[in-house]
């Protein structure tokens, strides 16, 4: 069974391992640790299946906007609705905190993530050219109005 809960500092090892597995330019364990402890704007969640952490996601709540930072799911657990569950938890939390909108950047070529976000109400609103320094790929800025 899939459960989504707030992340705690003890989850850091597992979150950092998933981050490394899923991204070509992963956030360092130290940066993720700061997110879980010192960053008052940060809200992070982990997804568990049978007690094992299989994915995580986070956002920054800045004034009345939620900036989604990362969503990642370990490759053995993909296409089971884990990312959708994490994203919905983030958006529910943002609404409870009275955010009016959520936004994120995604690589233009990341079709699976783009579809995930589009399915959950995000629409493309702009491009940040050459945003990703490893490949010079553009970032698509996506936006979701929260009711
Ligand atoms: C993108 C990612 C988070 C999706 O995780 P996931 O748990 O497999 O996604 P879900 O099972 O919740 O899928 C939700 C929807 O996203 C879309 N989607 C997810 N994976 C897809 C794929 N490989 N191809 C096409 N669409 C896909 C589909 O619309 C899917 O709905 P459906 O299964 O009903 O068709 C995962 O592939 C991942 O961790 N990728 C690497 C990290 C990354 O790119 N993160 C996002 C950028 S911040």
Give residue-wise pLDDT tens across range 87-108. Answer: 999 999 999 999 999 999 999 9
Write the CATH number for 99.
3.40.630.30
Q: Does residue 25 have a pLDDT over 80?
A: yes
Question: Would you state the pLDDT for residue 54?
Answer: 98
Q: Structural domain of residue 120, as residue ranges?
A: 2-145
| Percent of the chain whose predicted confidence (pLDDT) is above 70 | 100
* pLDDT confidence band for 116 (50 / 70 / 90): very high
Per-residue three-class SS string for 90-140: HHHHHHHCCCCEEEEEEECCCHHHHHHHHHCCCEEEEEEEEEECCCCEEEE
Ligand 1 centre to CA of 5 (Å) is 19
Of ligand 1's atoms, which has the minimum distance to the CA of residue 118?
29
Residues 6+ apart with CB under 8 A from 27: 19, 35, 70
Mean predicted confidence (pLDDT) in 39-50:
98
Ligand 1 atom closest to Cα of residue 70: 48
Q: Is the pTM of this model over 0.85?
A: yes
Whole-number Å distance, alpha carbon 112 to ligand 1 midpoint, is 5
Look at the chain and report how many structural domains it folds into.
Answer: 1
Q: How far is CA 79 from the centre of its chain?
A: 16
pLDDT surpassing 80 at residue 68 = yes
Kindly list the protein residues whose Cβ atom lies closer than 6 A to any atom of ligand 1: 22-23, 70-73, 78-84, 106, 110, 112-113, 115-116, 119
Atom of ligand 1 nearest to the CA of 68: 48
Query: Mean pLDDT score of the chain, rounded to an integer?
Result: 97
pLDDT at 147 over 80: no
Residues 6+ apart with CB under 8 A from 79: none
d(CA 91, CA 102): 7
Distance CA 56, CA 4 (A): 9
């Amino acid at each position: 069974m899939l459960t989504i809960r707030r992340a705690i500092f003890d989850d850091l090892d597992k979150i950092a391992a998933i981050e490394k597995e899923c991204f070509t330019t992963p956030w360092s364990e130290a940066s993720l640790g700061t997110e879980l402890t010192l960053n008052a704007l940060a809200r992070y969640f982990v997804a568990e299946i049978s007690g094992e952490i299989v994915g995580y996601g986070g956002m920054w709540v800045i004034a009345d906007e939620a900036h989604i930072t990362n969503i990642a799911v370990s490759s053995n657990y993909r296409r089971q609705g884990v990312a959708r569950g994490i994203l919905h938890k983030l958006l529910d939390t943002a609404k409870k905190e009275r955010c009016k909108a959520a936004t994120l950047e995604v690589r233009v070529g990341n079709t699976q993530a783009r579809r995930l976000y589009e399915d959950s109400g995000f629409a493309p609103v702009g491009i940040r050219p050459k945003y990703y320094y490893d490949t010079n790929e553009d970032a698509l800025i996506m936006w979701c109005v929260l009711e």
